[in-house]
């Protein structure tokens, strides 16, 4: 074997060993941060090191410091697992080292993105004419969607953002729920619109936007160019906005409608849960993650836009596209914020090929059923569940009996499962997200036991 062949096989074996044992090992690193940092630190090497030794050093430095977030009992944030075919495709993407800027650089990467983009739209029930951009995650997906909306609304008002920037432009207001994700605010900061552009709308008890209040906010200053930003899947409760009512209302005010659907958009892939995202296809743009519920390895997300020409006009690399000659036959680099980037389409393609329509529906349904079961077991053990478990998110507390942060600490130290804390409506609570394809009912039982143990 050549050196590179030997090394890639060795790395793949180490990755495979991690996958095989991740469910049996403690989830959190057992080593201190100082120790791990010291293992990686030291002066810049003056001379080359043999690659095989570099891999050995890396494996040793990271040993015991890899968080078991790909394992079946990691319920923090909204962290997806990594499907076998998608993981293998990621290894190939690295081995092939394709740059997905255009199809002269990689015909295969382009074809994989086009196919995976079409499959994603089909699965989620989004308009077939939409353009799809493969980005790092929902943060980037939201940034791209809001950028397209900003440029398109200002173009309608006679202002060319691509040419003239935002200085002196008419202000664009962003009407968004008080429960919007923080990535929406960061996108607005990055896009030069600032967070004062946000006109907040109240959310109901479940975290979904209050559509009556949305109507009231829209009616104030009704002539301003307006982006309405909705949400599929509140990060705390899993609640989805009522798109069927909210989107037509926004349309009535000529607003651009963007949907942050990081994980919730995937409810549309399940016949059993599809009602939650009914009407979401009426929006103009969508941001979503593949690395959450689809279980594609990090990082992977999509920006999807109904108006492919507006998409290319806003994100274009080459001035030719500024005229908006896009269409779904775009140059890959004309719909993403990056120029050169890794070929993310292979892994998304592989995940969708591995699961198929029924497999994605099953993954969504299973995760939701596990979340329900977790809620039942914790309630039976004396905890209080604070959300209606409509999707894969569970909010739990122990009242005054135990402080949430102390329970979370104890759970993390115990190592059976991993949960984090969140603040919901002024209350500190444990947030549990079931998003991993490997999680079984027995993982849920073991984890509920561990959480209840930690609370006493």
Ligand X SMILES: *Cc1c(COP(=O)(O)O)cnc(C)c1O
Q: Which residues bind ligand X (CB under 6 A)?
A: 78, 137-139, 181, 183, 233, 235, 260, 262-263, 289, 301
Give whole-number Cα distances, 105 to 318, 325, 332, 334, in Å: 16, 22, 10, 14
CA atoms of 417 and 129, how far apart (whole Å): 42
Cβ 59 to ligand X shortest distance, Å:
27
Cβ 184 to ligand X shortest distance, Å:
7
Cβ 273 to ligand X shortest distance, Å:
16
| CB closer to ligand X out of 263 and 266 | 263
| CB closer to ligand X out of 78 and 385 | 78
| CB closer to ligand X out of 309 and 387 | 387
Cβ burial 126-159 (10 Å sphere, 16+ → b, else e): beeebbbbbbbbbbbbbbbbbbbbbbbbbbeeeb
Cβ 180 to ligand X shortest distance, Å:
8
Quick count: other Cβ atoms within 10 Å of Cβ 7? 15
Cβ 177 to ligand X shortest distance, Å:
11
Q: What are phi and psi of 197, to 5 degrees?
A: -70, -15
The CB-nearest residue to ligand X is 137
Pairing of strands 420-424, 393-397: unpaired
| CB closer to ligand X out of 183 and 309 | 183
Cα end-to-end distance, the chain, whole Å:
56
Cα-Cα-Cα-Cα dihedral sign, residues 82, 87, 89, 95: positive
| CB closer to ligand X out of 159 and 293 | 293
* CA dihedral of residues 444, 445, 447, 453 (deg, nearest 10): 160
Cβ 78 to ligand X shortest distance, Å:
5
Cβ 165 to ligand X shortest distance, Å:
26
| CB closer to ligand X out of 152 and 260 | 260
| CB closer to ligand X out of 136 and 309 | 136
Return the SS3 of 159. coil
Q: What are phi and psi of 331, to 5 degrees?
A: -70, 135
Bridge partners of 154, per DSSP, are none
Bridge partners of 304, per DSSP, are 132, 286
Tell whether omega for the bond before 234 is within 30 degrees of 0, i.e. cis. Answer: no
Cβ 32 to ligand X shortest distance, Å:
27
Cβ 195 to ligand X shortest distance, Å:
16
Q: What are phi and psi of 431, to 5 degrees?
A: -110, 130
| CB closer to ligand X out of 139 and 447 | 139
> How far out from the chain centre does Cα 31 lie?
29
| CB closer to ligand X out of 287 and 397 | 287
Quick count: other Cβ atoms within 10 Å of Cβ 269? 27
> How far out from the chain centre does Cα 139 lie?
7
| CB closer to ligand X out of 233 and 297 | 233
Cβ 1 to ligand X shortest distance, Å:
37
Bridge partners of 257, per DSSP, are 228
CA atoms of 168 and 248, how far apart (whole Å): 30
Find all residues with CB under 8 Å of 305, minimum gap 6, and list them. Answer: 130, 131, 133, 144, 145, 148, 284, 285, 286, 311
Cβ 231 to ligand X shortest distance, Å:
6
| CB closer to ligand X out of 368 and 383 | 368
CA atoms of 379 and 390, how far apart (whole Å): 16
Return the SS3 of 338. coil
């Amino acid at each position: 074997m050549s050196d590179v062949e030997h090394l890639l096989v060795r790395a793949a074996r180490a990755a495979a060993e991690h996958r095989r044992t991740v469910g049996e090992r403690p989830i959190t690193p057992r080593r201190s941060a100082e120790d791990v940092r010291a293992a990686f630190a030291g002066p810049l090497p003056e001379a080359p090191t043999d690659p095989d030794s570099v891999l050995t050093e890396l494996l040793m430095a990271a040993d015991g410091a890899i968080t078991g977030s790909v394992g079946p009992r990691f319920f923090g944030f909204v962290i997806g697992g990594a499907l076998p075919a998608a993981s293998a495709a990621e290894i190939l993407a690295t081995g092939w080292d394709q740059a997905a800027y255009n199809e002269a650089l990689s015909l295969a990467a382009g074809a994989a993105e086009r196919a995976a983009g079409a499959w994603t739209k089909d699965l989620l029930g989004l308009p077939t004419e939409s353009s799809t951009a493969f980005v790092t995650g929902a943060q980037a997906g939201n940034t791209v969607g809001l950028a397209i909306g900003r440029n398109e609304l200002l173009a309608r008002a006679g202002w060319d953002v691509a040419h003239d920037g935002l200085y002196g432009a008419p202000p664009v207001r962003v009407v968004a729920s008080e429960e919007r994700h923080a990535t929406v605010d960061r996108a607005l900061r990055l896009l030069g619109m600032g967070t004062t552009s946000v006109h907040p709308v109240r959310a109901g008890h479940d975290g979904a936007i209050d559509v009556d209040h949305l109507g009231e906010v829209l009616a104030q200053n009704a002539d301003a160019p307006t982006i309405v930003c909705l949400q599929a899947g509140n990060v705390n409760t899993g609640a989805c906005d009522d798109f069927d009512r909210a989107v037509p209302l926004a349309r009535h005010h000529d607003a651009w409608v963007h949907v942050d659907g990081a994980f919730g958009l995937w409810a549309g892939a399940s016949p059993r849960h599809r009602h939650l995202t009914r009407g979401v296809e009426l929006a103009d743009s969508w941001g979503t993650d593949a690395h959450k519920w689809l279980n594609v390895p990090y990082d992977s997300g999509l920006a999807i836009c109904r108006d492919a020409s507006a998409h290319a006009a806003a994100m274009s690399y080459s001035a030719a596209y500024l005229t908006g000659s896009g269409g779904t036959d775009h140059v890959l680099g004309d719909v993403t914020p990056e120029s050169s980037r890794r070929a993310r389409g292979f892994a998304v393609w592989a995940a969708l090929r591995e699961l198929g329509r029924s497999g994605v529906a099953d993954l969504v349904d299973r995760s939701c059923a596990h979340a329900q079961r977790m809620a039942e077991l914790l309630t039976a053990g004396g905890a209080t569940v604070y959300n209606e478990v409509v999707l894969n998110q569970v909010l739990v507390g122990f009242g005054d009996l135990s402080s949430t942060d102390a329970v979370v600490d104890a759970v993390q130290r115990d190592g059976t499962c991993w949960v984090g804390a969140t603040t919901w409506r002024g209350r500190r609570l444990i947030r549990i997200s079931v998003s991993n394809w490997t999680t079984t009912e027995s993982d849920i039982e073991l984890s509920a036991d561990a959480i209840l143990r930690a609370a006493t």
